[in-house]
Amino acid sequence: MTGDTMTLLPLDDTRRQLRERLRRLPSEQDHVVGVKRLRSILQEMGVVCDDSAELQDADAILLTSGRGMEALIASRLDDEERHRAYSRIVARLIIGQMHEPIDAKIEYPAEHLTISREEKEEDAAVAQFAIALVEGNLDLAPRPLYEDVPKLTLAWTPRTAARSTLGGMHLWSDYWYRHSTMYRWWRSRPKVSKTIKRVCAVLNPRRPAAV
């Protein structure tokens, strides 16, 4: 581990700022450039990154402790594997639950046994969202993972009713993305993403986006 320390933002602020930065990422599939961008984002959030970890069975480990948060990336990885490892770390911070004062999330190169259904669902959602990050196409994942969305509220006008309906769609999509293997597969289809964009444009024409 590196001896450098940085001030770590509260986890909610880290997630919010990560979402803000992810929306600004260009559609870049060069793995070397992708690693540099994701590492830079993590470091700005106060996560110490170490690409020299001697990990054999894991590609990466996200650690949180009294000294802050650290991302350990296996030194044996090639550029594409390292890009995927960093994408999983970012996805884990957005989707996963880190428990204070000490916790560790391990990113394995292949599917592995988990203790609980919640862990299995979290791992699967992290893996799928990481693919969208690597491919530079966030539209293949639910919008609440990378952007603030309209709220589901009582609505009294056609405009607010449409936005409230859109907010309900966002909540529904985010929930099933985290809990359903079939939904994650369906949501990652480009044709589905394009269709959802059109629906969102109808419900919120001032700001069309993926649900």
- Spell 67-81 as b/e; 16+ CB within 10 A means b: eebbbbbbeebeeeb
pLDDT of residue 211: 44
pLDDT tens readout for residues 59-86: 999 998 888 889 999 999 999 999 999 9
How many C-beta neighbours within 10 Å does residue 57 have? 9
Residue 104: other Cβ atoms inside 10 A: 13
Distance of alpha carbon 175 from alpha carbon 169, whole angstroms:
10
Instruction: Give yes or no for residue 9 having a pLDDT over 90.
Output: no
Predicted pLDDT of residue 114? 67
Decide: pTM greater than 0.75: yes
Number of Cβ atoms within 10 Å of the Cβ of 152: 16
What is the pLDDT, as a whole number, of residue 6? Answer: 43
3-state secondary structure of 61: strand
At 144-183, the pLDDT tens digits run 898 888 787 777 777 788 888 888 999 999 999 999 999 9
Structural domain boundaries in the chain: 11-134, 139-203
% of residues, the chain, pLDDT over 90:
44
Name the percent of the chain lying above pLDDT 70. 91
Separation between Cα atoms, residue 90 and residue 10, nearest integer Å: 15
Q: And the tokens for 116?
A: 């609980």
Residue 154 pLDDT: 74
User: From the CB of residue 178, how many other CB atoms can be counted at a distance below 10 Å?
Assistant: 20
Retrieve residue 24's tokens: 């600004």
The mean pLDDT of the chain is: 85
